[in-house]
Amino acid sequence: MNGGVPVPEADRQGLLAFKKGVSFDPENYLNNWNDTTHICQWNGVSCSNNSERVISLYIKNKSLRGTISPFLGNLSSLWQLDLSENSLHGSIPIEPGLMTSLEEFSIRSNQIQNEVPQSFGLLKKLRYIDLSLNKLGGRLPHSLFHNCTSLEYIDLSENKFLGYIPSNVGNHLKYLETLFLYLNQLIGIIPTSLSNSSHLKELDLGSNFLTGALPSKIVQQTPLLEILNLSGHSLESNDGNINLTPFLTTIANLTHLRELQLAENMLRGEFPSRISQFNNNLSLIHLEENFLHGSIPSYIANFSSLSLLNLSSNLLHGRIPSEISHLAKLERLFLSNNSLQGDIPFVLGDLRHLGLLDLSRNKLSGPIPSSLANLTLLRELYLHHNSLSDTIPSTLGGCISLDILDFSYNKLNGKIPAEVAGLRDIGIYFNLSNNLLSGELPTALSKMEMINAIDLSSNNFKGEIPPNLLNCEAAELINLSHNALQGSIPASLGNLLNLKILDLSHNSLSGEIPESFSESTSLVHINLSFNNLSGLLPRGRLFNSLRFESFQGNKHLCLRLTDFQSCIQNRKSKTTFSQILDLGCHCWRHVDYAVLKAISPATPLRCYSSWRVTSRIQLQLVPLNVAYNEGTLRAWQNLKR
- Report the range of poorest mean pLDDT among 8-22, 190-204, 558-572: 558-572
Instruction: Using the predicted structure, report yes or no on whether residue 303 has a pLDDT greater than 60.
Output: yes
Report d(CA 348, CA 40) in Å as an integer. 61
Type of residue numbered 626: V
Give me the CATH topology for the region 7-160.
3.80.10
Question: What's the chain's average pLDDT?
Answer: 87
Instruction: Using the predicted structure, report yes or no on whether residue 602 has a pLDDT greater than 60.
Output: no
* DSSP string computed for 212-248: SB--HHHHHT-TT--EEE--SS--B-HHHHTB-HHHH
Band (242; pLDDT cuts 50, 70, 90): confident
Phi, psi angles (nearest 5°) of residue 130: -135, 110
pLDDT, position 277: 77
pLDDT, position 619: 33
Band (580; pLDDT cuts 50, 70, 90): very low
- In this chain, the answer to whether the domains covering 7-160 and 413-559 adopt an identical fold is yes
* DSSP string computed for 455-476: E--SSEEEEPPPGGGGG-TT-S
What are the boundaries of each domain within the chain? 7-160, 413-559
CA triplet 582, 583, 588: central angle to 5 degrees?
Answer: 80
Share of the chain above pLDDT 90, in %: 72
Band (638; pLDDT cuts 50, 70, 90): low
CA nearest to 158, candidates 93, 110, 116: 110
Reported in sequence order, the residue ranges of 287-428 that DSSP labels E, i.e. its strands, are 291-294, 308-310, 315-319, 332-334, 339-342, 356-358, 363-366, 380-382, 387-388, 404-406, 413-414
Instruction: Using the predicted structure, report yes or no on whether residue 570 has a pLDDT greater than 70.
Output: no
Any idea of the CA torsion for 238, 244, 249, 255, to the nearest 10 degrees?
90
Band (49; pLDDT cuts 50, 70, 90): confident
Report d(CA 512, CA 489) in Å as an integer. 8
Report d(CA 289, CA 361) in Å as an integer. 14
pLDDT, position 562: 52
The CATH architecture annotation of domain 413-559 reads: Alpha-Beta Horseshoe (3.80)
pLDDT, position 149: 95
Band (8; pLDDT cuts 50, 70, 90): confident
pLDDT, position 320: 98
pLDDT, position 157: 98
Report d(CA 106, CA 611) in Å as an integer. 81
Report d(CA 472, CA 515) in Å as an integer. 20
Band (42; pLDDT cuts 50, 70, 90): very high
